[in-house]
């Protein structure tokens, strides 16, 4: 038999491959190049930082516009009828929370809650893909805007960490297309490290603190945190913070209405003007220690109160049935009660009920004493919500902190995305402010140290004490 019949002419195949490659569209090669670049970790981190910074800015801006609309409708309602103001105050929040609850119940139940316990579980090794889907990402983002603009005293920090992890998951999935490491152990390890870095981005682009974001990611992934996570979290955190600041600067140049957004995440959480040499006297450390012990018991009170409320909700058949079958009705009942108490025309007038936590931060950290009445016209406008006729500041501050404490414990039972970081931050600042005001009354001339007089700065107490209750936010998901 002639063996030449079985010989294969490879030249024909090479020419055919060349012709086929010529016929391929050019954009196909460009797309492969993009996918190849996406497989590099640092590219994913930079893209994650840019996307999260833009998303954080957009959420803040939309929520601020909704908040301004709430206050505008509330003030305009006074011209209609005296009873119209509290009705508008409650109905506005009721509408937004009802929509948010319905969206979480019917569209994406995984979007409810803070999301941080889920992230801990995923990074611990359990696969919960349904909590990281695009559907949950879109639902949680839109609902978070509605919640922040509704007027309820909630923050966005906890849900935003979940959003950052979901976005990182989508970027990681895009990088897997065409990759030879699709299901390998190496790729899975890198994916988990990127998710840990994403948790740092969620905090960094919310508070403008890249280093704090990295430390937060270590806190929530404390079981195992590789050294590579430090630089990955820092790169993504810095990128997101710079992106937010750049967008805020562009909008600030075109419009001068960046008050609350600039306060919240542009430069510092809240600008302070304390003396750089001696912000507090060494003798004041004893007062800080006592107040730290008090806040430790306060944290226990909050946890026990929330646990008691949750046991009541889950233990009662009627409440559990209402929450499971008609969550919108459950949320409506809670919102009507809370917003009626927070209305500035009623009980809320005595504890700054018309302010959300992010709006109270610059007031609580102000370096002027509210009790000595020695502030200027600018300071007077800053603290107008706390200086009530014939009511002492020593009554307003405890009322605000304690009311916010139990209100937060109740709100956390709602089936919506809930952020507890900022309210806890403000509760600590309120009690610190209370101690600072008491010190100004006890020592109106300040404290003497080696012949020098150190004035009492109430805002410094608020700054120091807020960190104590921030630890409650870190430990709360474990309980």
Lowest mean pLDDT among 36-45, 148-157, 320-329: 36-45
Domain 284-478 adopts which CATH fold?
Clc chloride channel (1.10.3080)
Q: What is the CATH number of domain 39-266?
A: 1.10.3080.10
With CA atoms as reference, report the closest residue to 101 among 468, 414, 343.
414
User: What 3-state DSSP class applies to 419?
Assistant: strand
Please state the rounded mean pLDDT for residues 422-437. 84
Query: Rounded mean pLDDT of the chain?
Result: 75
Q: Maximum distance among all alpha carbons in the chain?
A: 116
**Domains 39-266 and 284-478 are alike in CATH topology:** yes
Please state the rounded mean pLDDT for residues 26-37. 57
The C-alpha torsion from 460 through 465 and 470 to 471, rounded to 10°, is 140
Query: 455 versus 202: which is more confidently predicted?
Result: 202
pLDDT in tens, 388-422: 666 777 888 888 889 999 999 999 999 999 888 78
Confidence (pLDDT) at 436:
81
Q: Other CB atoms closer than 10 Å to residue 350's CB: what's the count?
A: 15
Helices (H) and strands (E) in the chain, counts: 19, 2
With CA atoms as reference, report the closest residue to 264 among 342, 351, 356.
356
Q: Other CB atoms closer than 10 Å to residue 189's CB: what's the count?
A: 12
Both structure tokens of 347: 């009980």
What is the DSSP code (8-state) at residue 128? -
Query: 298 versus 186: which is more confidently predicted?
Result: 298
Q: How confident is residue 95, by pLDDT bands cut at 50, 70 and 90?
A: very high
Query: 117 versus 266: which is more confidently predicted?
Result: 117
Q: What is the pTM of this model?
A: 0.80
Q: Where are the domains of the chain?
A: 39-266, 284-478
């Amino acid at each position: 038999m002639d063996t030449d019949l079985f010989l294969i002419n490879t030249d024909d195949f090479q020419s055919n491959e060349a012709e086929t490659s010529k016929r391929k569209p050019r954009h196909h090669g460009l797309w492969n190049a993009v996918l190849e670049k996406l497989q590099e970790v640092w590219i994913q981190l930079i893209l994650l930082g840019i996307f999260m910074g833009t998303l954080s800015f957009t959420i803040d801006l939309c929520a601020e516009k909704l908040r301004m609309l709430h206050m505008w409708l509330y003030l305009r309602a006074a011209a209609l009828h005296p009873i119209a103001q509290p009705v508008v105050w409650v109905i506005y929040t009721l509408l937004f929370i009802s929509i948010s609850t319905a969206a979480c119940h019917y569209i994406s139940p995984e979007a409810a809650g803070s999301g941080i316990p889920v992230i801990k579980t995923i990074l611990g090794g359990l696969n919960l893909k349904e909590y990281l889907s695009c559907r949950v990402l879109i639902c949680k983002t839109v609902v978070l805007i509605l919640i922040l603009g509704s007027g309820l005293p909630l923050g966005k920090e906890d849900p935003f960490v979940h959003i950052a992890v979901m976005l990182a998951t989508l970027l990681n999935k895009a990088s897997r297309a065409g990759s030879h490491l699709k299901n390998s152990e190496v790729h899975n390890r890198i994916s988990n490290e990127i998710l840990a870095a994403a948790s740092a981005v969620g905090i960094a682009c919310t508070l403008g603190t890249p280093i704090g974001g990295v430390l937060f990611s270590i806190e929530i992934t404390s079981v195992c945190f590789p050294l590579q996570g430090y630089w990955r979290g820092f790169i993504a955190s810095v990128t997101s913070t710079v992106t937010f600041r750049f967008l805020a600067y562009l909008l600030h140049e075109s419009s001068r209405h960046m008050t609350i957004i600039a306060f919240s995440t542009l430069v510092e959480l809240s600008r302070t003007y304390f003396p750089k040499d001696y912000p507090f006297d060494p003798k004041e450390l004893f007062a800080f220690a006592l107040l730290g012990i008090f806040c430790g018991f306060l944290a226990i009170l909050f946890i026990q109160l929330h646990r008691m409320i949750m046991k009541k909700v889950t233990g009662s058949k009627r409440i559990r049935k209402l929450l499971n079958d008609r969550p919108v009705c459950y949320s409506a009942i809670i919102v009507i009660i809370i917003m009626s108490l927070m209305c500035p025309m009623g009980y809320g007038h005595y504890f700054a009920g018309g302010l959300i936590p992010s709006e109270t931060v610059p007031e609580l950290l102000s370096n002027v004493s509210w009790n000595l009445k020695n502030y200027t016209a600018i300071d007077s406008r800053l603290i107008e919500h706390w200086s009530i006729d014939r009511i002492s500041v020593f009554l307003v501050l405890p009322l605000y902190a304690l009311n916010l404490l139990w209100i937060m414990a109740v709100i956390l039972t709602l089936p919506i995305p809930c952020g507890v970081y900022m309210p806890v931050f403000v509760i600590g600042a309120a009690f610190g402010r209370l101690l600072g005001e008491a010190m100004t009354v006890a020592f109106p001339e300040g404290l003497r140290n080696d012949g020098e007089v150190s004035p009492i700065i109430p805002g410094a107490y608020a700054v120091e004490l807020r960190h104590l209750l921030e630890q409650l936010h870190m430990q709360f998901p474990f309980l």
